[in-house]
Structure 1
Amino acid sequence: MAPTPENDAQLAGAALGLSENGLIAVAWAGFTLAACFVGLRCYARITDTHRLYADDYCMLAALFFLGTNAVLQTLQAESLYYVVYASVGLRPMEGLLDEGNIYVRYQFAIIALFWTIVWSVKASFLVLYWRLFDGLKADRRILLGVAAFTVAAYIGCWFASVWTCHPPSTYFDFGQCTKPIDVEGSVISISYSTAIDIFTDFLIMALPIRMIRNLQVNAKQKAGLAGIFSVGLIIIAVALVRLSQIVTHARADPVGLAVWGLVESSIAVVVGSLPPLKAFMTRTLARTMNRSKGASGGNSRVKYNNFDPQEEQSLSKSQARVGAIPLEDRSLNGSQDYHTKSVEGQIVRERDYY
């Protein structure tokens, strides 16, 4: 029986306003958006440094898992909506068991992929900070501790997913995980995994704080750098919305769970692609302005704040920047190669990897 305007009212949650095709569209729209940002990130890196680094490969892995998740969500959509519609009498009950078994098998893989995508983005930030902390032994020790905790949290999310059924061996038997303890366990699982996700994001964002505090730059520059390293707040905000939308409907709104899982994982990949793009866009804008001035017959040598790019030799050590991000040499005393550029009228000493 196909849903009609008269019996649509029996539906609840996201299924009431989102069709099967709509859910599939959400999955692929999120993947397409994320692919554009990851592609731009890789283009920026290759343009600037002629190579990709480990954090870029983490983001490529996240995009691969996101694409795989979109495929599985597409394959699962028919059985998902069959279960939802059958629960309110809009599909024959005879096929519920078979479709339900298909649904739960896909669901386990989709949940596992969701956490793998989000944690791949976290890994990208951790690898990036490892390079930035080159020569800073104390900061690297702290980073290793955070990384170990993050890995343990990822494993914990897998166990939390399994223990939504009691006993766990009944997880793949549709209809066997509807006991009161299972419903309660599902809410606890979603709440725990979201809380640990948010907590690890805060830990990762806190890693560069000491480095930023030690920079010998003005407050505005420090605020800009802190903003770049705080983009994880966007992911946290989406995770909180996801939790608020599904925590009271862990069993009754599987479509809502699917939608918000797709939204959060897609946004996580987009946000994880942002940090390297700031410097690239800044340099692109500067080059465009230089070309515009040259074409109009003006002085093609850009000059801001009474600073001439040709005065590179007189640049002090405290004016060094990493990829247009001010980083104090005293805090980053590694052995990487540097090269200088003129960006918006200021000399930039840039690490080849950023």
Structure 2
Amino acid sequence: MANINGTITVLAPPDGYVVDLENPKTQYVVESYTVVAVEMTFCFLFLLQRLYTKIVIMKKFQLEDGVVIFAWFFCMGTQICGLLGLAHGAIGRHAWEISIEKYAFYSRIILAAPLLYAIGTAAAKISLALFYRRLNPNKVFQGFVWFTLFVCLAAYTAIFFSLLFACKPIAASWDPLLLALPTTVCLNRGGIYLAQAVIGIVTDVLLLALPVPTVLKLQMPNKQKLGLVGIFGVGSITIVTSIVRLIILLPSLTTADQTWVIGEGFLWIYVEANLLIMCCCLSTLRRFFKHFAPRLIGEYSSGSNSKSHERGFSRNHAQRTFGSGGAKRTLDTLMNTKNEDNGIPLSSFDDMDKSGGKIATKAKNMGRDSDSEEAILFERSVQVTYENRDDQSMSGGGPARGYEGTQSHQPKVWTERRAPHAH
């Protein structure tokens, strides 16, 4: 403690430093407000995009969507804590130019922000893991997904309670006067912050690596496949921010002027917290742009050709055997994963009524396309060529018993027009 012109401060100023309590030196104040204003806006827009896509376009609000909203609230709470510290002059200033009352406020901020951030970070990463569950039913892949989810949940739960009960009594975590008492015992909170940064890097790497093998095996053009890998690669930005934050954190552990160095640390927390939420919302971008601006994602075709291509027909319209190739794993715009047999689900040829050369083919009920809500009429034509052999008896001077001749018929065309479902 030091008494500077009647003001009690936690630290005494270094020799030769002129203390100015009215106009103290500051750092990263303007930068912090700018980053928060820009990134919070983008983060909120990304979240609105995800919710609009899932609720309005897809009409599916799933568990991971609720978890993302939960994560957003806590990440916003972390940033609000930092902004309050800046507004009250408790962050980004030297400790010897902050009164003991402001330092007590700083202590509360520095306790609340990491607790909120641990919850928000864990929720964001759990949301990604929940989404990954639907990418691939392979048991090995599912095992890695659940392992990553468990690591995120367990690690950040441990961080949360370690920070909450770092001091005995607990009030010493936010009351600097209690820290001076000989009976107060505190853990090395700097080490906990260091562990939190390392855990963030490890879990980011796990979440980045998980979907790549599945995306590379998708049955889609290489251009779209690279685009999907790029979307997941955006998540690597959070790895960079975690590493930068760790580099900044290391020297701050050995300095007593915490209120000064924490300004830069909070700056990178603002960046990382918003990027976490935006990365969680990237998975719906393709569906969103497919609905509003399909050309931006390479959806140039229209009409029946486009619909046929989406169901597995090649662009050159090469002939295919119905049901050939087996079930293929597809990723429906990174949101609905499904197994589907390429080809048109016709009734068997035994259902044909060959009398008179007519075809009575019944179209089986097909799953609704994800865009059926948009009232798009689509038409599918299947060309079926068959042979009809007349079986005549030998009686009456007719031809010999058996199949003597083959009567070829022109190809018939089976057409289905489906109207949009009424809502």
- TM-score scaled by length of structure 1: 0.70
CA distance, structure 2, for counterparts of residue 130 and residue 289 of structure 1: 25
Q: Distance in 2 between matches of 1:143 and 1:319?
A: 18
* Cα deviation, residue 69, structure 1: 2.9
Structure 1 259/308 Cα, relative in aligned 2: closer, same or farther at 3 Å? same
Which moved further from structure 2: 249-258 or 192-201? 249-258
Q: Which amino acid aligns with 2:313?
A: L
User: Structure 1 stretches of 5 or more lacking a match?
Assistant: 2-6, 291-299, 332-336, 348-354
Query: For the residues of structure 1 that align with 2:301 and 2:284, how far apart are their CA atoms?
Result: 26
8 A contact 1:246–1:257 mirrored in 2: yes
Cα distance change on mapping 1:243 and 1:205 into 2, 3 Å = same
Distance 1:33 1:87 in 2: 34
> Which residue, 112, 118, 123 being the options, matches 2:121?
118
Bigger share in helix: 1
2:50 corresponding residue in structure 1:
41
Structure 2 counterpart of 1:268, from 269, 272, 276? 276
Cα distance in 1, alignment partners of residues 280 and 106 from structure 2: 30
* Pair 1:105-2:108 in alignment: yes
Q: Does 1:207 find its partner at 2:210?
A: yes
- Corresponding residue for 2:313? 315
Distance 1:167 1:244, change over 3 A: farther
Cα distance in 2 for residues equivalent to 1:49 and 1:328: 15
C-alpha contact 1:221 1:326 (8 A) present in aligned 2: no
**In 2, Cα distance between equivalents of 1:18 and 1:43:** 35
Q: 1:8 to 1:231 in 2, by over 3 A?
A: farther
> Taking structure 1 as reference, are residues 54 and 289 closer, same or farther at Cα in structure 2, changes over 3 Å only?
closer
The secondary structure found in structure 2 opposite 1:229 is helix
Bigger shift: 267-276 or 192-201?
267-276
Question: Could you tell me whether the CA contact under 8 Å between 1:31 and 1:70 is conserved in 2?
Answer: no
Counterpart AA for 2:369? H
The whole-number CA distance in structure 2 between the counterparts of 1:188 and 1:108 is: 14
Q: CA deviation at 1:122?
A: 0.6
Residues 269-313 of structure 1 show CA distances to partners (whole Å, capped at 9, x for unaligned) of 2222222112321442237999xxxxxxxxx9648xxx9326457
Residue aligning to 2:12: none
From 236, 239, 258, give the equivalent of 1:236: 239
Task: Report the secondary structure of 2:124's partner residue.
Answer: helix
Q: Measure the CA separation in 2 of the matches of 1:289 and 1:173.
A: 55
| Counterpart residue identity of residue 150, structure 1 | C
**Residues 240 and 315 of structure 1, relative CA distance in 2, 3 Å threshold:** same
- Partners of 2:290 and 2:18 lie apart in 1 by 51
Question: Structure 2 counterpart of 1:275, which letter?
Answer: S
What secondary structure does 1:329 align onto? strand
8 Å CA contact retained: 2:26, 2:93: no
Does residue 61 of structure 2 align to residue 64 of structure 1? no
Determine which structure has greater relative contact order: mean sequence separation of CA pairs < 8 Å that are 6+ residues apart, divided by chain length: 1
DSSP-derived class of the 1:308 partner: helix
> Any idea what the Cα deviations from partners look like across 1:10-64, whole Å, max 9, x if unmatched?
99xxx64334x76456445433331121112212223321232222222211222
Structure 1 pair 256–162 and aligned structure 2 pair: CA distance change class (3 A): farther
The 1:209–1:326 alpha-carbon spacing in structure 2 relative to 1, beyond 3 Å, is: farther
Q: Take 1:73 and 1:340, find their aligned partners in 2: how far apart are those partners?
A: 42
Aligned partner of residue 131 in structure 1, secondary structure? coil
1:32 aligns with 2:30: no
Q: Cα distance, 1:173 vs. partner?
A: 2.8
1:339 to 2:349 alignment: no
Q: Distance in 1 between matches of 2:296 and 2:213?
A: 35
Instruction: Point out the more displaced range, 312-321 or 229-238.
Output: 312-321
Once the two structures are superposed, residues 109-158 of structure 1 have per-residue CA deviations (whole angstroms, 9 ceiling, x without a partner) of 1111112222221111111112334x434432332222111111112322
| Secondary structure of residue in 2 paired with 1:215 | coil
Give the secondary-structure state (helix, strand or coil) at the position aligned to 1:339: coil
Distance 2:18 2:301 in 1: 66
**Equivalent pair of 1:83/1:99 in contact (CA under 8 Å):** no
Relative to 1, partners in 2 of residues 1:9 and 1:39: Cα closer, same or farther, differing over 3 Å?
Answer: farther
Match of residue 18 from structure 1: 28
Q: Is the 8 A contact 1:164 1:189 kept in 2?
A: no
Corresponding residue of 2:419: none
Distance in 2, matches of 1:235 and 1:191, equals 16
Deviates more, 1:244-253 or 1:168-177: 168-177
Asked whether the 8 Å contact 1:246–1:256 carries over to 2, the reply is no
Q: Distance in 2 between matches of 1:277 and 1:18?
A: 33
1:216-227 matched pairs, under 5 angstroms = 216-217=219-220, 219-227=222-230
RMSD: 4.3
Match of 1:294 in 2: none
Aligned AA (1:58): V
Q: Provide closer, same or farther for how the CA distance between residues 214 and 23 of structure 1 changes in structure 2, counting only shifts above 3 A.
A: closer
- Paired position in structure 1 for 2:86: 77
TM-score (norm 2): 0.60
Question: Could you tell me the percent identity over the aligned residues?
Answer: 21
Q: Give aligned pairs, total.
A: 310
Unmatched segments (≥5 aa) in structure 2: 6-16, 315-326, 342-366, 373-378, 380-423
Measure the CA separation in 2 of the matches of 1:125 and 1:56. Answer: 10
Q: Which of these two proteins has the greater Rg computed from alpha carbons?
A: 2
